[in-house]
Structure 1
């Protein structure tokens, strides 16, 4: 690690599992984001039946059931850390980390049950892939933090800055999810161009705030694994937002060309 990195992060633990998961999380998520740009999508949301060679073959689930299967295992893992000795309750940093992960995935489950409006199905293979990714990320983040016990803290303590950034991210993400849920009535299955909030600047502000939330988690943790997962998630959401903007451009002739994909005025 570089001298600057040493000031900001705990040293990598002597754990082959965490080392492997750091590499796997970053590379697999980045590759999946690149696949989104190329038109090879994970089959959920508006891309649930996207397939350049015809309809995607596989087991279909209702979107609500699919989303619950995606987020519930990760939520269970985050909550379980409070009952495992040496994990959530071993230090302030560990407590904040487990709390942030629990709040993040509880919000997701809450939105699935009470906020989101659905217009399609979800494919089981994508559900299982995403669910496993989220579950393993929670387990790995908490375990990597556990391995820092009795290790010297980084020179710069960023956990409270991380809490602030996490709160901004989760509030912004929820707000824009709520806006999306209000675009159509109960029986309306059609898509509309989102308006309100930051939708006048980017088509995926909920992704932008999700990245801020994950960055907050990284600052709370200050471990190499947490940073690797956040970087990988950022690359994935960059690709997914690019594909989403391209989809809106293809579906709506009046889609405003000045609205970017993820980063206002830039991308």
Structure 2
């Protein structure tokens, strides 16, 4: 079974993948330089739309994108295709439910940020779903590893989101997170999201899926670094031995 399913290389695909690769890497670089700080959570602005509505939309639209992409080949779904498209849907449905019933918001979200994130997530969801029509023909060990990474990532991401939500009180003030992997890193919820996306990539095997994982790594690492710096600026007693995203390493 192939570890990477390569596209058919021609002028169009070379240009498309080159542009996509530049897009994947640029998000993280621009975020790390403060040139593309998406205005939500701790970095929100004082104006915009309702955070709950905005966050719901940016997670709901990718569900539509993924399902539209499968419309033309849904009749040919086998178990592999079904699991992959289910994983994509589960990821975004979970985030929608968190927005509606778990997260607590204290201010608006910038409309441009909603559009940017919704567009990025929708592109990723559409590509993953569309390319799924050329999936591997059976479940193998690497696919099972991907399923485990996806499941662990989703459950642990939810757990750490719950820890963050429980910190928010009526005054909507921020506190130093504790519990779980927060004892070791600033952004364990990002680490677990990366686990889930790596799981999807190992199930899909398409080059684009691995590129989406790199894209997510690039952005979330940059975001985690900025969040880590934000905590150190806001809290004088923030633990010095707490890493950014990978326990004991980074």
How high is the TM-score relative to the length of structure 2? Answer: 0.91
1:13 aligns with 2:8: yes
Name structure 2 gaps, 5 residues minimum. none
Cα drift, residue 34 of structure 1: 1.7
Q: Is the 8 A contact 1:81 1:98 kept in 2?
A: no
Match of 2:103 among 116, 119, 143: 116
Equivalent residue number for residue 216 of structure 2: 233
* Aligned-pair Cα RMSD in Å: 2.4
Distance 1:131 1:264, change over 3 A: same
User: CA 1:16/1:64 → structure 2, altered by over 3 Å: closer, same or farther?
Assistant: farther
For 1:68 and 1:125, locate their aligned partners in 2 and report how far apart those are by CA, in whole Å.
Answer: 15
**Gap change, CA 1:90 and 1:211, over 3 Å in 2:** same
Per-residue deviation at 1:20? 5.1
Deviation for aligned residue 1:13: 3.5
Q: Residue 30 of structure 1: CA displacement?
A: 2.3
Find the counterpart in structure 1 of residue 181 from structure 2: 198
Residue-pair matches, total: 249
Matches within 5 A, 1:1-267: 7-13=2-8, 22-40=17-35, 41-49=37-45, 60-80=48-68, 84-87=71-74, 89-146=76-133, 148=134, 158-185=142-169, 187-267=170-250
Q: Structure 1, unaligned stretches of length 5 or more?
A: 1-5, 50-54
Deviation at 1:81, TM superposition (A): 5.3
1:15 deviation in Å?
A: 7.4
Q: How far apart are the structure 2 equivalents of 1:248 and 1:89? A: 49
